[in-house]
Amino acid sequence: MKKGLNIVGTRVPMLDAGLKVKGAAQFTDDLVLPGMLFGKILRSPLPHARILNIDTSRAEKLPGVRGVATGRDIPDRQYGIVPMAKDEYALAKDKVRYIGDDVAAVCAIDPEIAEEALELIDVDYEELAAVFDPREAIKEGAPVIHEGVKNNTSFAINKEFGDVARAFAESDAVFEDRFYSQAVNHAPLEPHAALAQFDPLNGDLTLWSSTQIPFFLRRNLSNTLQIPESKVRVIKPKVGGGFGQKIDMFAKDFCAAWFAIHLGKPVKFVYEREEVFISTRQRHPMYITVKTGVKKDGTILGQQFQAHADGGAYNSTAPTMIALSCFFLMIPYHIPNLIYEGCHIYTNKPVGGAMRGHGIPQARFAVERQLDMIAGRMGVDPVEIRIKNSIHAGQPHSAGFVINTCGFSESVTRAAESIGWQEKRGKLPLGRGVGLAGASFPSGVSNMSHISSGAVVQLGRDGAVNVLSGAADIGQGAETVISQIVAEELGVSLEDIRITAADTGITPLDPGTFGSGVTVRAGNAARLAAMSARNKLFEFIAEKLEANLADLVAENRNIFVKGSPEKGMTFSAALKAYQYADLPMPIVGRGSWMAPASEPTTLFKEDGNFAPSYSFMTQAAEVEVDLQTGRVKLLKMVTAHDCGTPINPMLVEGQLEGSVVGGMGQALYENVIVEKGQVMNPSFLDYGFPTFMEMPEIEAIEVETDDPIGPFGAKEAGEGTQLSPAPAIVNAVYDAIGVDFMELPITPEKILDALEAKK
Amino acid sequence: MKRAIELSINGDTYDVLVSPNNTLLEVLRDKLGLMGTKRGCDLGACGACTVLINGEAYLSCVMLAIDAGGKDILTIEGLAEGGELHPLQSSFVEKGGLQCGFCTPGMILTARAILNEEENPTEDVIKRKMAGNLCRCTGYKKVVEAVMSANESDENAGRPEGQEA
Ligand code: FES
Ligand code: FES
């Protein structure tokens, strides 16, 4: 904990933990409104088909059914989280593009009747040729999934920094390797849900939704349903995890709102687990080729990176995802010459979206794997090659990133030490091994529009501090962290804070929970608001105490002159005095914050800084491979993370631990298996993400740096940690059995096949 | 045909009209408004809907409501007495054994069942017996720590009422 701080830096429990352990925390599906109706969605059974006709008459006649909607009913406006990439309709217009696509919606007095009515909807399809492999979809003559999108390539990025051809010519060796990273489902425990209510008198629509992006959802609801944004209020109740899957909107949001408006009754949609697997989002499968030129000692001179992302049927975050894959090749290593080429390709499959790391885990898997392979080929130690190529704070960056603080090489050293690198690497018996991998992640982004947060802090007569923030807490503890920041700034106790967050009708604008920007962005906004409120109180107190405003401090519910604690008063006495001086209450402080965008750039075409700050991390794994069954056991994972100065170390640890276990799932178990467009394992049982039994020993090492931009020195925590567990584990498996795996996940079958082939 | 049954939940008796295929989870949530029991999969694969029946953990989404008639059902709403949290609940709070909290009621009730059955379970026993409770947020580490520490901090944490040592 930093000197002079009382609340920031402490391991306080989440403010809403009490409600959560009592089962009293309200998630969207826990909300009940009088007269509420229930909705269900009819989904496409075909991967690619034209809709010739939909007959809803039989469904409409079923007793208990209150409404049926199809794409004809809802305005012809596409939605999407990235404005330039909107390509989805609330309900299909004339085509379906994957098995699970939204075709029609039913609203009834109970969910079973709605379900039954779905079977009474008759849809005539004309089946079209479908394509499931992005490497096929990109070819001339492949089925056209979206009219006008050539080669099914909805987005491509292609840029060179420096001179890669020359770098390769000057290299002692150039290696080219191919990798594949699979589809992973976020699988938040809470299924997606929405509840809408409409007031016909004043035209106000309220939507409660399990969302990470209330304000983007508001904008899309307004645009798609053609109602003014000022008439839409989105409220985010408790959200049961998101990991990026809820950085998007879905048919349930639009249909709940549409029915509520047209039927005049509240309407709730809750997705079943199978729908979460098939019809929401997943991590993009990606085919990657990396070509790297190095000097004898392992110094990287140049790199060429090509990625084909399998986007499934729609764009979702396509441009952002593929751009992130590429941009983050330039960090944490110094790559003086770089070409990246990435494209997002439509296929007739479930849709890719943002998932923890957002395009970067796939790239990291390829690059960190190849780095180990290069180290082996050149006879350099994997730890050494990483430290040698590490970027450093303050150094000029080849793409123009501004790195204020960087604990990367320290994170490599400490992770290696902690896993016992010297004693273990290459020295353990057959079947045991250690490996590591590094990464970097942004704390929010500085180069996009609309990425700013606001906060309001009110000091009332009752001594309570009221905070309004637009930040979307989805279980990571954003509300707690923001409250800690405000309490620290005001010198009050955490119990004095009352926070209301993420209600577009009440709280100030915030982009939402993505890109790991919440603590920095919303935290800074809240800090500014708190400072502004405090200074108003200080002005008055300074006069009263005949002191300089600059000499006042607020601490432990007291305000006093620095160095003379006797010269001061309690916080509540100060508020009372303020009120009795006939000054207007409440004292209101406002703050808005966005990352400095002095050189706004898209990075697609020009250089520039991408994020206000960057976190750095190294994961080191020790594994045991069962040579008989092919099962890999992750024995231990060390994660050394430079996340600046943690506001709440306990919550940061929780983020790191959860992220490591998620990364382990990506490495060893998880894979959304799709055959001819059909998801074959859309259930927890068949999908099989890690349970208590697979939990490794986890050691979290904080590499503290003091970032000048984040509130109290904080940076991103927890998302970046999911970037490199997979390559670290696969690198450790190489150490254990001497096999280089290039594709994820490494299942027992693959291990056994590889062991067999090695014989 | 609907049937009237009597359910004893958290010490109270409820008369409910159920269809033979209604699950206990449907009755708890949709008929009685006991929303602390969560629906994560509705297929018996995540543990979010765990309740205790006569002290043992059951998945309420795959249990028929009529089969729960006449038995003692404990849901998360009935765990704490008065204004105080149950030691297991406090321990989850203090140790950070939760993030989004969606899996938490099921986790706590499963842990309670384990401590009912076994004095001082080892970490391995806890992991094995909780393997049916999925969590996508915490990575499980702090959940295990929370259960271990509840067991240490309060000898009576898991004992059924009236059987305190
Ligand atoms: S909801 Fe019952 S086990 Fe998942
Ligand atoms: S705390 Fe979110 S699923 Fe366990």
Q: What is the pLDDT of residues A357-383, one digit of tens each?
A: 999 999 999 999 999 999 999 999 999
pLDDT at position B148 over 60: yes
Sheet holding A587-594, edge to edge: A497-501, A465-469, A452-459, A587-594
Work out the average pLDDT over A219-224: 96
Q: Whose CA is nearest to atom 3 of ligand 1?
A: B44
Q: What is the spatial distance between Cα A238 and Cα A208, in angstroms, rounded to a whole number?
A: 10
Nearest to A241 among B85, B136, B142 (CB): B136
Question: Is the distance from CB of A187 to CB of A306 less than 8 angstroms?
Answer: no
| Average pLDDT, rounded, for chain A | 94
Ranges assigned E (strand) in A60-152: 65-70, 95-96, 102-108, 122-127
pLDDT at A595: 81
Question: Is the distance from CB of A457 to CB of A642 less than 8 angstroms?
Answer: no
CA dist B3 → A747, B12, B61 (Å): 49, 19, 19
On whether any CB of chain B is under 8 Å from the CB of A186, the answer is yes
Q: List CB contacts (< 8 A) between A27 and chain B.
A: 38, 102
> Ligand 2 centre from B72 Cα, in Å?
27
pLDDT at position A627 over 90: yes
pLDDT at A343: 96
pLDDT at A14: 97
pLDDT at position A437 over 90: yes
If one counts every other C-beta atom within 10 angstroms of the C-beta of residue B153, the result is: 13
Give the list of residues 6+ apart from residue A612 with CB closer than 8 angstroms, or none: A442, A443, A444, A446, A517, A520, A595, A596, A709, A710
- Encoded tokens for A417: 């030490």
Atom of ligand 2 minimally distant from the CA of A188: 3
pLDDT at position A604 over 70: no
Q: List CB contacts (< 8 A) between B90 and chain A.
A: 21
Work out the average pLDDT over A298-321: 96
Placement of tokens 């520490």 in the chain: B149
- Encoded tokens for A20: 């959560």
Q: What is the spatial distance between Cα B155 and Cα A265, in angstroms, rounded to a whole number?
A: 51
Express each pLDDT in A49-91 by its tens digit. 999 999 999 999 999 999 999 999 999 999 999 888 999 999 9
> Ligand 2 centre from A12 Cα, in Å?
18
Give the list of residues 6+ apart from residue A508 with CB closer than 8 angstroms, or none: A453, A454, A455, A456, A468, A469, A470, A525, A590, A592
What is the value of ipTM here, to two decimals? 0.96
pLDDT at A117: 98
Amino acid in position A106 = V
Q: List CB contacts (< 8 A) between B48 and chain A.
A: 189
Express each pLDDT in A578-588 by its tens digit. 999 999 999 99
* Residue A105 pLDDT class (50, 70, 90 cuts): very high
DSSP-based three-state secondary structure for A642: strand
Ligand positioned closest to the Cα atom of A25: 2
Exposed, middle or buried, A676 (CB in 10 Å: 0-12/13-18/19+)? exposed
Kindly report the nearest CA distance between residue A663 and chain B, in angstroms.
Answer: 10
Which chain A residue shows the shortest CA-CA distance from B46? A684
- Lowest-confidence range among A341-350, A399-408, B93-102? A399-408
On whether any CB of chain B is under 8 Å from the CB of A191, the answer is yes
Please indicate whether, in this complex, the C-beta atoms of B101 and A685 are within 8 angstroms of each other: no
pLDDT at B82: 84
For ligand 1, is residue B28 a contact (CB within 6 Å)? no
- Encoded tokens for A39: 């909705």
Q: List CB contacts (< 8 A) between A25 and chain B.
A: 101
Question: Is the distance from CB of A521 to CB of A595 less than 8 angstroms?
Answer: yes
Please indicate whether, in this complex, the C-beta atoms of B94 and A191 are within 8 angstroms of each other: no
> Ligand 1 centre from B45 Cα, in Å?
5
In chain A, positions 466-505, which contact chain B (CB-CB < 8 Å)? 474-477
Question: Is the distance from CB of A313 to CB of A154 less than 8 angstroms?
Answer: no
Give the list of residues 6+ apart from residue A546 with CB closer than 8 angstroms, or none: none
Q: What is the spatial distance between Cα A430 and Cα B157, in angstroms, rounded to a whole number?
A: 45
Q: List CB contacts (< 8 A) between B112 and chain A.
A: none
Q: What is the spatial distance between Cα A230 and Cα A246, in angstroms, rounded to a whole number?
A: 23
Express each pLDDT in A551-593 by its tens digit. 999 999 999 999 998 999 999 999 999 999 999 999 999 999 9
Kindly report the nearest CA distance between residue B75 and chain A, in angstroms.
Answer: 9
Residues having CB within 6 Å of any atom of ligand 2: A 189, 240-241, 475; B 98-104, 135-138
Evaluate the CA torsion angle A53, A55, A56, A57 in order and state its sign.
positive
Express each pLDDT in A704-714 by its tens digit. 888 888 888 88
Kindly report the nearest CA distance between residue B126 and chain A, in angstroms.
Answer: 9
Amino acid in position A438 = G
Express each pLDDT in A248-284 by its tens digit. 999 999 999 999 999 999 999 999 999 999 999 999 9
Q: Structural domains in chain B?
A: 3-78 (3.10.20.30), 87-153 (1.10.150.120)
pLDDT at position A210 over 90: yes
Q: Structural domains in chain A?
A: 17-24+452-593 (3.30.365.10), 31-128+189-241+246-279 (3.90.1170.50), 286-446+601-758 (3.30.365.10)
Placement of tokens 């005049």 in the chain: A264
- Lowest-confidence range among A20-34, A506-520, B5-19? A506-520
Nearest to B102 among A16, A27, A32 (CB): A27
Nearest to A475 among B40, B99, B140 (CB): B99
Ligand positioned closest to the Cα atom of A658: 2
> Ligand 1 centre from B112 Cα, in Å?
18
Question: Is the distance from CB of A716 to CB of A707 less than 8 angstroms?
Answer: no
Q: List CB contacts (< 8 A) between B141 and chain A.
A: 657, 695, 698
Please indicate whether, in this complex, the C-beta atoms of B36 and A24 are within 8 angstroms of each other: yes
- Encoded tokens for A495: 């119990």
Which chain B residue shows the shortest CA-CA distance from A23? B36
Residue from B49, B53, B75 whose mutation best tests the ligand 1 pocket (most atoms within 8 A of CB): B49
Instruction: Number of A to B CB contacts under 8 A, please give it.
Output: 173
SS3 content of chain B, % helix, strand, coil (to 5): 35, 15, 45
On whether any CB of chain B is under 8 Å from the CB of A663, the answer is no
pLDDT at B64: 97
pLDDT at position B38 over 90: yes
Q: Which residue has the higher pLDDT, A758 or A540?
A: A540
Work out the average pLDDT over A285-308: 98
